[in-house]
Chain A
């Protein structure tokens, strides 16, 4: 990459496998899977019920890190993000403001409006015209909203971009605050954009990554309708999960000057917009081409081939095929035997949080020079030394991103 070097100095993981970078990594290495039948999803009555939740008992011991009163303003994804943010800042040994608040920013991949299904159904029933079934009566709807919806529950908890704002306020990041709503590549994009802002000198430190709550009934039901959720009967698709991965990225000299512990350097990032082809099934070749371009660009920036590849691997058939084909074209000659991780098999698809969490798992793999066996597609013996990892992300509408990290 051009410009200043950007290093990883803080790691915050809140995943269905555990809260904390080490808890997450140890669970991966132990071959644990956090995917199971979720009663909440089964209650929707669809032939799909698998997902991965961050267990309440994993969150509980950490709640004291967060301001108690503020928690009433947060939706689920915000809680997960605030926790990951606190862990990342602690890991980086940074206090709020990161030294100079004006040079410290937040970039967060988030997903969609979260509206509790029960509340929405209550609203729809109250807003239905008494004369014409299934027709919304605006006067009744407005009346219900004014009387019966707590403004804190509705506006503040549904807007996805507020999560970045909460993070920026709590961590006193005054230099930049941006929510990246690009579905499943949002987290990768937020990390990549943070790298660029630091490399180009706009920021010295960024708290970046993603947060998502795909166990929301509305997400699950609408995405089942879109044909991208895995069925209990074996229908291919993604298994949804919730979580947050946040990184503290820092300009290398800045990190050095304050004696920060460095866990790796981000040496490449590229991304491409999608073409709107849901699930990639209609134009698989286009997706392969875009992904190929993105990976080629990252390899060129990094000037090295990866020793390790974290696949997007969300279980959507067209995505898996495009990913395989793009990697054959780009790494076929330079890194044919680099091990490939399918991390989502262990913790499900964490949506906008997926790439940051997977990048942090790669940081652990590079650090400990080991791979979690259950999710590694190739033998580790061919690549005894891990110095670099490539992390791929594919969105539901064909957008894609890649990040490269070096130890």
Chain B
């Protein structure tokens, strides 16, 4: 079957179809597929399910669901390459992510100590919070183009997690909890609208 790239969709039609795809892909009861249900924590989605869901979205709507992008972003945070870019922009010192990963404990405070000792950066009061804030802003910007509902997610909330631990599992959990049925529906609607395939007034 070739992907359908012609059909004009209504918002309600998208909502119903996304629901059906999720029921099929995740083997869950329709009643559990509510708008706010999170795919991973509420509906038990695993990486292989995203492969299936992405394919089905492509076939049904002709819209690519960039699930791989979310995975790639997660890897970039975990391997600290995003942090390396933030530090380079702030201090004009290029430190490889591998080196940052060797710093223990994995906190921005310890990383800045390391940078001061090895790369002669000058520390100032409050720099730790500022770096974490810049890191969070960058991470959220990276996720803006994915099917995550980031509304109401404050930089401060995230900063709290990452200040304690750069690999904070809570931070990842918060991000993944924003992968909801509604977020996927809205993502598909936005893509269809951009392609001129959303019915007027829908």
Residues of A in contact with B (beta carbons under 8 Å apart) = 67-73, 122, 147-148, 150-152
- Chain A residues, Cβ within 8 Å of B51: 151-152
Say whether, besides A69-B44, A73-B48, A151 and B55 are in contact (CB < 8 Å): yes
Lowest 8 CB-CB distances: which A-B pairs, in order? Answer: A69-B27, A68-B27, A150-B55, A152-B52, A151-B51, A148-B1, A148-B2, A147-B3
- Chain A residues, Cβ within 8 Å of B44: 69
Contact with A along B1-44 (1 / 0, CB 8 A): 11100000000000000000000111110000000000000001
Partner of B52, one of A71, A72, A147: A72
| Chain B residue nearest in CB terms to A152 | B52
B3 touches A148 (CB 8 A): yes
Most central of A68, A69, A151, A152 by chain B CB within 10 Å: A69
- Chain B residues, Cβ within 8 Å of A147: 2-3, 58
Partner of B49, one of A67, A69, A71, A148: A69
Residues of B in contact with A (beta carbons under 8 Å apart) = 1-3, 24-28, 44, 48-49, 51-52, 55-56, 58-59
| Chain B residue nearest in CB terms to A149 | B55
A-B contact pairs, 10 of them (CB 8 A): A70-B27, A71-B27, A72-B24, A73-B48, A147-B3, A148-B1, A148-B3, A150-B59, A152-B48, A152-B51
Q: How far is the CA of A210 from the CA of B59 in the complex (A)?
A: 35
- Chain B residues, Cβ within 8 Å of A68: 27
- Chain B residues, Cβ within 8 Å of A73: 48
Contacts A147-B3, A152-B55 known; list 5 others, CB within 8 Å. A69-B28, A69-B49, A70-B27, A148-B3, A151-B55
Give the distance to chain A from B28, nearest Cβ to Cβ, in Å.
8
A150 touches B3 (CB 8 A): no
Q: How far is the CA of A122 from the CA of B28 in the complex (A)?
A: 30
Could you count the A-B residue pairs with CB atoms below 8 Å apart for me: how many are there? 33
Give the distance to chain B from A166, nearest Cβ to Cβ, in Å.
12
Give the distance to chain B from A374, nearest Cβ to Cβ, in Å.
41
Q: How far is the CA of A247 from the CA of B27 in the complex (A)?
A: 29
Say whether, besides A147-B2, A147-B3, A148-B2, A72 and B55 are in contact (CB < 8 Å): no
Q: How far is the CA of A255 from the CA of B176 in the complex (A)?
A: 46
| Chain A residue nearest in CB terms to B28 | A69
| Chain B residue nearest in CB terms to A147 | B3
Q: How far is the CA of A38 from the CA of B75 in the complex (A)?
A: 51
| Chain A residue nearest in CB terms to B58 | A147
Give the distance to chain A from B30, nearest Cβ to Cβ, in Å.
13
Give the distance to chain A from B152, nearest Cβ to Cβ, in Å.
30
- Chain B residues, Cβ within 8 Å of A67: 27
A72 touches B25 (CB 8 A): yes
Q: How far is the CA of A67 from the CA of B28 in the complex (A)?
A: 11
Give the distance to chain A from B68, nearest Cβ to Cβ, in Å.
12
Give the distance to chain B from A157, nearest Cβ to Cβ, in Å.
12
| Chain B residue nearest in CB terms to A144 | B2
Q: How far is the CA of A280 from the CA of B8 in the complex (A)?
A: 61
| Chain B residue nearest in CB terms to A122 | B1
A72 touches B27 (CB 8 A): yes
Q: How far is the CA of A152 from the CA of B25 in the complex (A)?
A: 10
B26 touches A69 (CB 8 A): yes
Q: How far is the CA of A151 from the CA of B49 in the complex (A)?
A: 11
Q: How far is the CA of A150 from the CA of B25 in the complex (A)?
A: 12
Q: How far is the CA of A144 from the CA of B55 in the complex (A)?
A: 13
Give the distance to chain A from B128, nearest Cβ to Cβ, in Å.
43
- Chain B residues, Cβ within 8 Å of A71: 27
Say whether, besides A69-B26, A69-B44, A150 and B2 are in contact (CB < 8 Å): no
- Chain A residues, Cβ within 8 Å of B49: 69
Q: How far is the CA of A148 from the CA of B5 in the complex (A)?
A: 13
- Chain B residues, Cβ within 8 Å of A152: 48, 51-52, 55
Give the distance to chain A from B37, nearest Cβ to Cβ, in Å.
15
Partner of A150, one of B26, B27, B28, B56: B56
- Chain A residues, Cβ within 8 Å of B28: 69
